[in-house]
Amino acid sequence: MEQRIGPSIQPLQGAAADPAFVPGITGPRPDEPEETAAVDAEETAEAVTEEEAAEEAAEEVTPEEEPPADGPVFEAADRRARIVADARGIRLSLDEESCDFRWDEIGAVETETARFGKRFTVTVHTPDRRWYPIEIEAPARARFAEWESQLDAVLDAYFEDDAKAEESEDT
């Protein structure tokens, strides 16, 4: 009969002992000759300039961008967050993330001011019961009234709630 001497734990195989064992992760590439590296660098530079040219052309011709309409615009921003409401809808931005809502995608817009502090919160509610809040830090509490009136003017001009829609359909 054979008997083992030592621990009954099997030695770890794979990624625990060798990082190159993980599928999808490759080890360092061997050094390439200088000529090949120079050709690759030139091709990469040409590809980058072509991509930049394509991006600039795309920015110049954007069919979705409309010239801003003559009407009220609400805009508030701080160091991280930004909200813009105009004829196209409401755009919320926080750091690098942003979302756009057309007026027909919005069920309600709610504003709230902090009891203490200088935070102005705008929440966009959609008809599918989702909400998207954003907080803007005001330079002073006196800006709250100004922002409220500007946002109300934009909502009165562009936002058509269900009651107004039903009235216009009945007439």
Average pLDDT, the chain: 76
- What would the CATH number be for the domain defined by 74-170? 2.30.29.30
Q: Quote the longest CA-to-CA distance of the chain.
A: 98
Helices (H), the chain: 34-60, 143-158, 162-170
- Judge whether residue 69 has pLDDT over 90: no
Residues in contact with 72: Cβ distance below 8 Å, sequence separation at least 6, in sequence order: 86, 150, 153, 154, 157
- Judge whether residue 122 has pLDDT over 80: yes
- In a 13 Å sphere around the CA of 114, the CA atoms on its Cβ side amount to 14
160 — pLDDT class (breaks 50, 70, 90): confident
- Judge whether residue 40 has pLDDT over 70: no
DSSP helix/strand/coil, 50? helix
What pLDDT score was predicted for residue 62?
43
